[in-house]
């Protein structure tokens, strides 16, 4: 993220002597991406961050395709995914390709007896239900309903929930996730036409340094395998850090929609981007103000991308029989559009109160067995008169 941030105690210069009170050295660690060319943060640990005591056998958690070649529009009832106690076990991939995994989770318990690191992918968590705190080696981020939490790959974290009613929509990206380039100037600052700005981001705070030795289990996802590593020191032993590579939160309620005289295309709702897919936020907004405007979206062909829409809250203007937590999939290769009657019914309306998250991928998505279990089975026929 192109915004400098720092917490805790730091030496005046990088890569120089930084002593503890007892005269011994702190241990420096560069946490970077794209080799030494991407964004990075520089951390200072009480102990070496490399002290591995044990490595267990890996567990294969890579998603398996139940439908590999899909051209059928789908409607997945997301809240039918059953809650589970453990955070990682509750995570269910429903759609995936080689660039991105799209999943759901309904964890009941906080992560207290292990830490987690995704070494494969950036994670974008959308909090549909529940609140709590993301705890990382770089500090804490409180979260609640409507928050996106962007966790860079390689970040060690725990999530503490305040209760057991939690629902998450999760996007795992094998490409770095950024805010759209067109919203930023050449220095990285968000421009005036951006639907959000740096003031809307919530950065890590409350850095807590754990001076503890013992056995600390870190579950690491790498190459689709879940590895169990036991470290000799607490992973949150950082006394200070600075840089640009860290998790942050952004609320969908702080997204300011862009409107126009006639219907605006989906890119005006874009919130995040990668080289392989984009994420958009659909929020309450005034409708088009041309006197003959048709607010409902026109029929459009998905030739280059699969469209995934996660429904959060409100009146979903162009869809019938949609509820919270539903996921629609409109695959590449065929057109889609508003349901019968909604196109005409939108004329003369002044606004919409919907909240939804859209993920548009540039490669086709495969469906897992979990997706088929929550698929309504008839959505592809819902445009018949």
Residues 236 and 316 in one domain: no
Q: What is the mean pLDDT of residues 100-113?
A: 97
Question: What is the Cα–Cα distance from 235 to 379, expressed in whole angstroms?
Answer: 47
Taking 90 as the threshold, does the pLDDT of residue 331 lie above it?
Answer: yes
Taking 70 as the threshold, does the pLDDT of residue 324 lie above it?
Answer: yes
Q: Could you tell me the two tokens for 106?
A: 């309904």
Residues 214 and 279 in one domain: no
User: Interior CA angle at 218 toward 216 and 221, to 5°?
Assistant: 170
Residues 127 and 41 in one domain: yes
Residue 75 counted as domain residue: no
Domain count, the chain: 2
Question: What is the Cα–Cα distance from 126 to 207, expressed in whole angstroms?
Answer: 23
Each residue's pLDDT tens digit, 35-88: 888 899 999 999 999 999 999 999 999 999 999 999 999 999 999 999 999 999
CATH of the domain at 293: 2.60.120.10
Specify the pLDDT at position 4: 95
Residue 311 counted as domain residue: yes
Residue 337 counted as domain residue: yes
Residue 73 counted as domain residue: no
Residues 206 and 261 in one domain: no
Residues 44 and 157 in one domain: yes
| CB half-sphere exposure, 10, CA atoms < 13 A | 17
Residues 49 and 146 in one domain: yes
Taking 90 as the threshold, does the pLDDT of residue 364 lie above it?
Answer: yes
Q: What is the mean pLDDT of residues 286-301?
A: 90
Q: What is the mean pLDDT of residues 176-202?
A: 95
Question: What is the Cα–Cα distance from 5 to 203, expressed in whole angstroms?
Answer: 8
Residues 224 and 264 in one domain: no
Residues 269 and 141 in one domain: no
Residues 135 and 265 in one domain: no
Residue where a domain terminates, one of 252, 273, 296? 252
Enumerate the β-bridge partners of residue 127.
168
Residue 289 counted as domain residue: yes
Specify the pLDDT at position 320: 84
Q: What is the CA radius of gyration of the chain?
A: 22
Each residue's pLDDT tens digit, 239-283: 999 999 999 999 999 999 999 999 888 899 999 999 999 999 999
Residue 327, classified by CB atoms within 10 Å of its CB into exposed (0-12), middle (13-18) or buried (19+), is buried
DSSP-assigned letter for residue 202 = B
Q: Could you tell me the two tokens for 172?
A: 């795992």
Residue where a domain terminates, one of 252, 281, 313? 252
Residue where a domain terminates, one of 252, 285, 320? 252
Question: What is the Cα–Cα distance from 167 to 83, expressed in whole angstroms?
Answer: 9
Residue 137 counted as domain residue: yes
Residues 232 and 266 in one domain: no
Phi and psi for 88 in degrees, rounded to 5?
-70, -40
Residues 55 and 108 in one domain: yes
Q: What is the mean pLDDT of residues 216-227?
A: 97
Domain that holds residue 363: 256-381
Mean pLDDT of all residues in the chain? 95
Each residue's pLDDT tens digit, 133-186: 999 999 999 999 999 999 999 999 999 999 999 999 999 999 999 999 999 999
Residue 18 counted as domain residue: no
Specify the pLDDT at position 2: 75
Specify the pLDDT at position 1: 66
Res. 363 pLDDT band, cuts 50 70 90 = very high
Specify the pLDDT at position 294: 92
Residues 141 and 289 in one domain: no
Q: Provide the sign of the torsion angle of the four alpha carbons 150, 375, 224, 219, taken in this order.
A: positive
Determine the length of the chain: 385
Q: What is the mean pLDDT of residues 351-364?
A: 95
Output the DSSP codes for 250-290.
EEGGG------SSPPPGGGGEEEE-SSEEEEEE--EEPP-S
């Amino acid at each position: 993220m192109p915004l400098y941030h720092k917490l805790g105690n730091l030496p005046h210069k990088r890569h120089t002597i930084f002593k503890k009170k007892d005269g011994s050295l702190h241990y420096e660690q560069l946490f970077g991406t794209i080799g030494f060319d991407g964004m990075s943060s520089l951390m200072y640990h009480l102990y070496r961050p490399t002290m591995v005591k044990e490595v267990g056998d890996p567990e294969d958690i890579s998603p398996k395709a139940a439908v590999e070649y899909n051209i059928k529009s789908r409607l997945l009832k997301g809240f039918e995914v059953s809650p589970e106690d453990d955070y990682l076990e509750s995570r269910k991939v429903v759609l995936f390709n080689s660039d991105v995994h799209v999943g759901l989770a309904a964890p009941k318990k906080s992560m207290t007896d292990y830490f987690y690191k995704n070494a494969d992918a950036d994670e974008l968590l959308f909090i549909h239900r529940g609140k709590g705190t993301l705890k990382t080696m770089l500090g804490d981020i409180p979260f609640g309903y409507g928050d996106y939490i962007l966790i860079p790959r390689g970040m060690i974290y725990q999530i503490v929930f305040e209760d057991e009613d939690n629902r998450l929509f999760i996007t795992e990206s094998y490409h770095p996730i950024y805010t759209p380039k067109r919203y930023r100037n050449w220095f990285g600052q968000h421009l005036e036409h951006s639907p959000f700005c740096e003031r809307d981001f919530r950065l890590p705070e409350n850095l807590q340094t754990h001076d503890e030795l013992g056995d600390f289990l870190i579950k690491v996802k790498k190459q689709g395998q879940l590895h169990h590593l036991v470290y000799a020191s607490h992973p949150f032993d950082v006394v200070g850090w600075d840089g640009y590579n860290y998790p942050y939160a952004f609320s969908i309620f702080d997204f300011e929609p862009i409107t126009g005289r006639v219907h605006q295309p989906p890119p005006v709702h874009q919130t995040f981007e990668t080289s392989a897919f984009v994420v958009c936020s659909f929020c309450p907004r005034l409708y088009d103000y041309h006197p003959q405007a048709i607010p409902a979206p026109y029929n459009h062909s998905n030739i280059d991308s699969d469209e995934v829409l996660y429904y959060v809250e409100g009146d979903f203007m162009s869809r019938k029989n949609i509820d919270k937590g539903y996921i629609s999939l409109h695959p590449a290769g065929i057109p889609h559009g508003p349901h019968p009657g909604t196109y005409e019914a939108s004329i003369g309306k002044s606004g919409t109160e919907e909240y939804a998250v859209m993920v548009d991928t540039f490669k086709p998505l495969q469906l897992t067995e979990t997706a088929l279990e929550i698929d309504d089975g008839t959505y592809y026929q819902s445009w018949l008169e």
